[in-house]
Amino acid sequence: MGERVDLERENRFLAAHASTHDGIYRYFRRRTEGAATAEDLCAEVFRIVWEKSGHGDDLSAMVLYGVARNVLRNYDRSVSRSAGLLGALHLERNHETAGDESLVLEAIENLAPKEREVLLLTYWDGLSAVEVSQLLNTSATAVRMRLHRARKELGRLLQKQSVSEGAAE
């Protein structure tokens, strides 16, 4: 009997892993520096998920993203503590990225954290408003509102950048 439970647990875990691993790995790659960190954090997520699977917990994608979000928050805290950069967004700087993209990244960093999170979960991680609302434990309406504000603000920041660049030349 115990074996059947183990097998069931393993299957549930493997199914959750197969369907969400890549997304979660990308989630970390977008928000931390480098592949090694993303790999570490991703492994930590699935270690926790494996433990959860032993308690019969729900292993849906949004639960896993929730775990990832907490793991990232802990990681950011430890990094911020050591670097003294509280609240900084640790986006990977790829030196080969074109100027346009780094301008966008810079604008993203200047968004309010709550708006930025909704924006990136939507456009980078491809989550729906309902999924984002589950993850952030808020209403879908609030998510849409934040998203709208984030888009507007991003447009404004990008415009400002191009203006100030034009002025510098």
Partner 1 sequence: MSHDQSVADLLSAADPAHTIADDELIRSRQRSLSFVNSEVTHLSVGGSVHDFHRAPGKRHWGRFAVAGLAAAAVAASVLVGSTLASRPDGTAAAPSATSTSLATPSGTAKSSLTGATVTDSFGNVDYYTTDQGDTLARVAANFHITEKELAEFNGIQPGSALQPNTKLRLIPPPGPMNGAKGTATVDANGIPTSYTIEPGDTLAGITYRFGITDKQLAEANKVAFTYEKGNTYFVRAGNHIQLQKNPVDSRSGQGTSVNNSFGQTIFYTTVDGDSLDSLGYQFRCTTDQLLRWNTAVTADRPIPAGTKVRLIPGEVTIEGAQGTFTVDADGIPLTYTTAPGDTQTQIAFRFGIPEIADLAWANRPLTGTGSVWYTFADLSSGELNPGQTISLNLTKPIHG
Binding interface with partner 1 (CB under 8 A)? 2-3, 6-7, 10, 13-14, 17, 21-22, 25-26, 29-30, 35-36, 38-40, 42-47, 50-51, 91-92, 94, 96-97, 100-102, 104-105, 108, 119-120, 123-124, 151, 154-155, 158
Minimum distance from residue 142 beta carbon to partner 1 (Å): 19
CA angle 73, 103, 155 (to 5 degrees): 90
C-alpha 169/C-alpha 154 separation (Å) is 23
Token match 């408003």: residue?
129
Nearer to partner 1, 137 or 153 (CB): 153
* Interatomic CA distance for residues 124 and 30, integer angstroms: 8
**Which one, 46 or 137, has the nearer CB to partner 1?**
46
Q: Which is nearer to partner 1, 41 or 135 (CB)?
A: 41
Q: Which runs of consecutive H residues, i.e. helices, occur in the chain?
A: 2-31, 34-54, 61-83, 99-109, 113-123, 129-136, 140-168
Residue 69 Cβ, how far from partner 1 at the closest point, in Å?
Answer: 16
Instruction: Tell me whether residue 74 or residue 84 sits nearer to partner 1 (CB atom).
Output: 74
CB of 127 to partner 1, least distance (A): 13
Cα distances (angstroms) measured from residue 72 to each of 10, 38, 123, 141, 153:
25, 10, 19, 25, 25
CB of 42 to partner 1, least distance (A): 5
DSSP-derived letter for residue 97 is: S
